[in-house]
């Protein structure tokens, strides 16, 4: 299994690298609690179509080392950039879900866009969901602290109780099989308690509205109308307004788990977005786009 070392503290981080080395590059950054396996419905078909699909397991997640420190946005963003540097990736489309949106945005504002060409934010929690100077209409911090206590008491029960809301399972087309739901809960529980609580603190502290105007590259924002984890008006719509070159795609009846409930549609939208950036300087298209 391939690993690289965090440029911050040497933590050993696991990654996967699928598809042809010469294909347009997509790097996937996962949600809190979940590793790269959450992207199976996007990475496998895109790699089979000729794209190079890379994803990491965040520290304390998946097969990466169980680190005690580093659950701050700067370190997590540096970990992402460390992977791009380790593989010497160029013209990358960074694709993120949920809190991964914060890591991707901070990666760009800290390191610039020398390796990055485009960004896709899927059900992102940026610029923030908890009340802050940049998000005055956000969730009451006291409610977040109370929710943290419930989470600490019984993570397994917490994830199970919220699964239907995560997928917006009460709406047509969003029903996932019980075995798949169990699988995703098991993925969440594979994150260490330290990592899980550390990522919750990252979400609670997100206040990124001032960073978004600096994203001088195309940004695709994909969001569901019924996302209770990251309400559309508070997150996706704001991001699309604040970035200089943003495109908002709203999935009717979509919840937070779009990578599963709307897997085929999301994969198609990501493919189109990546291919739009795979045009060479001479005006010809890349191999994956030409073979579409």
- Active-site residues, by number, are 98, 227, 256
Asked if the bond preceding 127 is cis, omega within 30° of 0, the reply is yes
Contact 180, 267 (CB under 8 A): no
Bridge partners (DSSP) listed for residue 222: 122, 249
Q: Are strands 116-122 and 246-251 parallel, antiparallel or unpaired?
A: unpaired
CA distance from start to end of the chain: 31
Nearest to 155 by CA among 94, 100, 116, 197: 197
Distance separating alpha carbons of residues 33 and 16, to the nearest angstrom: 17
């Amino acid at each position: 299994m391939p690993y690289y070392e965090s440029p911050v503290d040497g933590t050993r981080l696991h990654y996967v690298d699928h598809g042809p080395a010469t294909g347009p590059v997509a790097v996937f950054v996962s949600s809190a609690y979940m590793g790269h396996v959450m992207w199976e419905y996007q990475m496998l078909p895109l790699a089979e179509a000729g794209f190079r699909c890379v994803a990491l397991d965040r520290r304390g997640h998946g097969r990466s080392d169980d680190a005690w420190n580093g659950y701050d946005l700067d370190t997590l963003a540096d970990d992402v950039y460390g992977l791009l540097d380790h593989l010497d990736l160029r013209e990358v489309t960074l694709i993120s879900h949920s809190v991964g949106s914060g890591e991707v945005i901070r990666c760009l504002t800290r390191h610039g866009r020398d390796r990055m060409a485009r960004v896709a934010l899927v059900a992102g929690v940026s610029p923030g969901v908890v009340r802050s100077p940049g998000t005055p209409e956000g969730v009451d911090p006291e409610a977040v602290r109370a929710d943290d206590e419930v989470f600490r008491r019984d993570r397994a029960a917490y994830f199970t109780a919220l699964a239907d809301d995560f997928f917006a399972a009460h709406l047509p087309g969003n029903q996932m099989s019980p075995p798949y739901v169990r699988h995703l809960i098991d993925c969440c529980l594979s994150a260490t308690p330290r990592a899980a609580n550390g990522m919750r603190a990252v979400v609670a502290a997100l206040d990124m509205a001032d960073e978004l105007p600096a994203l001088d590259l195309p940004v695709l924002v994909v969001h569901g109308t019924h996302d209770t984890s990251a309400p559309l008006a508070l997150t996706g719509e704001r991001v699309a307004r604040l970035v200089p070159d943003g495109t908002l795609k709203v999935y009717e009846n979509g919840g937070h788990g779009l990578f599963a409930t709307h897997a085929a549609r999301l994969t198609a939208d990501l493919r189109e977005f990546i291919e739009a950036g795979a045009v060479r300087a001479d005006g010809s298209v890349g191999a994956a786009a030409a073979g579409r």
